[in-house]
Structure 1
Amino acid sequence: MLAIFNKNLVDPPKELNSPVSHSTGSGNKPKYPQDIVKTFQQSYSHNVPLSIGFGNSAFLAHSSRKGPQIHDQRLFMGVDNMYCLFLGSLHNLNTLNKQYGLGRTTNEAMFTIEAYRTLRDRGPYPADQVLKGFEGCFGFVIFDQKAGTVFVALGTDQRVQLFWGIAADGSVVISDNLVVIKESCAKSFAPFPSGCMFHSEVGLMSFEHPKNKMKAMPRIDSEGAMCGSNFKVDINSKKTTMPRVGSEANWALCGSQT
């Protein structure tokens, strides 16, 4: 899968951007979104990806290639201008569908959209509590075209991985394909941290430890060059929590109460 979001839509952590990627002597340079799309399509030459563009704002692509394991599952759904790229599987999906009043045939991508919609429109629980109810291996990217927001999350089961980086024009690139990320973002990339979520209006936070801040850990590659940082939970720091203000409060702006 591949997701690209314009820098005016998503402001990623500044630590993802490596100065080495833009130095004069650097051989490999970050690519522009149109070239990244070509790289991705070429990497799946025998299985043409399904893709959709949103002008200069966003681009989503999905390859249905599936391996023998359930965590290899890839899904792509769009409902009411909300689009979800989902990787992996939820083994409590039937229970979650009943909880949200959804039918048996609802797959993980559709469920994730409906869970997101519930949080966005009614906000009954903090997002971290909802994600803790996802049992299985999963990673997903949601683009809410109408709201102009992006929501990304990765479970704690490391069988599913996501990577994110910075393109030549400052766009954010997200993919499960490490080769595509390396070729697209040069040194300005890192693994997306497991047990974490990112919302374009709020930033990066841990849904496992929502009361703790995240910290960037500089990452050095085998050539001794500084790459985009890894992000870890800072166990020694606490967030100043804000009280929720009724059901109309933006669900993504608040974690669990202290």
Structure 2
Amino acid sequence: MLAIFSKSLVDPPKELNCPALHSSGSGINKPKSPEDIVNIFQQSYSQNAPLSLGFGNSAFLAYSPSKLPHQRTFCGMDNMYCIFVGNLSNLSSLIKQYGLGKSTNEAMFVIEAYRTLRDRGPYPAHQVLMDLEGCFGFVIFDKNAATVFTALGADERIQLFWGIAADGSVVISDNKDVIKASCAKSFAPFPSGCMYHSEVGLTSFEHPKNKLKAMPRIDSEGAMCGANFRVDVSSKKASMPRVGSEANWAFSGPQA
């Protein structure tokens, strides 16, 4: 899968950028433009043509329907779009809990859960994600709200990667080769057990009271790359009480 979001939509952690890119004459490869990244992705799945959806210069979503090594599902409803990688072993019980139809797949469920959190905020977002059993990674683009939400399960059976394109756009994919070819050294694994919302930032849903710490990352060639993010067990966040109509899902937990 591939998701590209303009820097007007997503403000990623500054540590994703490779420090060497800002050095003159560094001699390392440079990140590609979003247009080139789309071509790289399409060429990587030439035998199983990916399905894609563009939103002008704001966002681009694409996925290959191949089920290897993990199934990928896509859903779009009411200007909310989701690419889901993996499967939920407790999907049937979640469908009953949310009162959804039996034909609901993982991507459809995630959109409905997101809508519930966005509009009513009955639970903290980290609590909803902790209720998901199985292996999963997903990206949601809420076109009406102009927001992005992505999360990755904690069991590490699925990997997501994110990086920075030449124009500052954020690139997210489950294909490491595509990310490396697209973002050069300005990429890193998306941290497992974490979620990112474009209005809140990166947080751990496994440890919502702890801050995340950027850890320098050096590749096999000895070059500095985008940083990894780890839970800082010694650093706690200040709790934010839920008050008034502003206490929707995005702000229902400890803040970054």
TM-score w.r.t. structure 2 length? 0.96
The CA deviation at 1:66 is: 1.0
Q: How many residues align?
A: 254
The CA deviation at 1:201 is: 0.3
Q: Are 1:241 and 1:255, in contact at CA under 8 Å, matched by a contact in 2?
A: yes
Note if 1:14 corresponds to 2:14: yes
Q: Are 1:22 and 1:29, in contact at CA under 8 Å, matched by a contact in 2?
A: no
Partner of 1:119: 117
Note if 1:219 corresponds to 2:220: no
- 1:191-249 deviation line (CA, Å, top 9, x unaligned): 00000000000000000000000010000111111100000000001101110114652
Identity fraction in percent: 76
- 1:48-82 deviation line (CA, Å, top 9, x unaligned): 11101111100000100112x6xx11001100000
The CA deviation at 1:157 is: 1.7
- 1:162-203 deviation line (CA, Å, top 9, x unaligned): 000000000000000000000000000000000000000000
Mapping 1:1-258, distance limit 5 Å:
1-23=1-23, 24-67=25-68, 72-246=70-244, 248-255=246-253
Distance 2:213 2:67 in 1: 34
1:152 counterpart letter in structure 2: T
1:4 counterpart letter in structure 2: I
Q: Are 1:122 and 1:247, in contact at CA under 8 Å, matched by a contact in 2?
A: no
Distance 2:148 2:234 in 1: 29
Which runs of 4 or more aligned residues in structure 1 lie more than 4 Å from their structure 2 counterparts after TM superposition? none
Q: Are 2:74 and 2:82, in contact at CA under 8 Å, matched by a contact in 1?
A: yes
Q: Are 1:18 and 1:227, in contact at CA under 8 Å, matched by a contact in 2?
A: yes
Distance 2:92 2:8 in 1: 38
Distance 1:125 1:34 in 2: 39
TM-score w.r.t. structure 1 length? 0.96
Distance 1:8 1:256, change over 3 A: closer
Structure 1 unaligned blocks of 5 or more? none
1:2 counterpart letter in structure 2: L
CA RMSD of aligned residues (A): 1.3
Distance 1:253 1:122 in 2: 12
Distance 1:213 1:43 in 2: 36
